[in-house]
Amino acid sequence: MSSSMYLAAGDGGKVLFHLGPLEVTGALTTLWAIMAILVLFFWWATRDIKEMPETGKQNVVEYIVEIFIGFFEGIMGRERAVQFTPLLATFFILILVSNYSGLIPGAGHITGFIPPTSHWAVTGGLATVTFLTVQYSGIRKKGWGHFKHYFEPIYLTPIMLPLGIIEELIRPFSLSLRLFANVFGGEMVLFAIATAAYTMQPALYVLLPVVMGLELIFGFIQAFIFTLLSAVYIEAATAEGHH
């Protein structure tokens, strides 16, 4: 088994050390590093924000924020777009950077440096946040009426209730599995080509830029799909006409 495959499939879940009851893996340390970098970057990008833009940096930041809000507005309306953009934009940026971390030399080969989204525990955690946000937002908007569609019509409750629960649980499962499988699969393709080129056919190295280019595209698409579906689920749970 390749070192990349071994680390992603095995050492990605190998415990490096413990913080109390928390088992810290390579995927988790990489995720923490990415989060720290993003926090520092956005602190720097937003620390001098003024009511009236005075710098090009603020103009760029505001433009990016408006792009996110404008996109989500088309799904859930302006009010909810403004409300949920911080969460949804965080999903997109964190997943995108995590996906692209797999293209950095040494990713999957260095202990403690595992592309986070190639490990199911990480994608499952992100999907769980979406699931909890959907339920919390639905209850906050409609109270316990958020769950009334499980009991309509009342005579079909024995059927609709278990089906509704299964549907709600499948959503985070499919979100996490889709993201994990695509990122993990991409890592394996990159390694397979690199290994074949190194051991058998050096000419195959010419394929690496092509595959890495595709990984850039697919990494963006997967971050986009996860964020889009999260927005759709939240919109459905908080819409006035939700049943």
Specify if 162 maps to a domain: yes
For 133, 163, 172, 238, the CA distances from 146, given in Å and listed in that order, are 13, 16, 18, 8
Specify if 18 maps to a domain: yes
Q: What is the pLDDT of residues 156-211, one digit of tens each?
A: 667 766 777 777 778 878 888 777 777 766 666 666 666 666 666 666 666 667 76
Specify if 227 maps to a domain: yes
Number of folded domains in the chain? Answer: 1
Global pTM reads 0.79
**Cβ atoms of 238 and 76 closer than 8 Å:** yes
Specify if 243 maps to a domain: no
Specify if 216 maps to a domain: yes
- Domain span including residue 142: 3-238
Residues of the chain under the 70 pLDDT cut: 1-13, 53-54, 106-109, 149, 151-157, 160-161, 184-208, 211, 241-243
Specify if 51 maps to a domain: yes
C-alpha–C-alpha distance, residues 243 and 238, integer Å: 10
SS3 of residue 15 by DSSP: strand
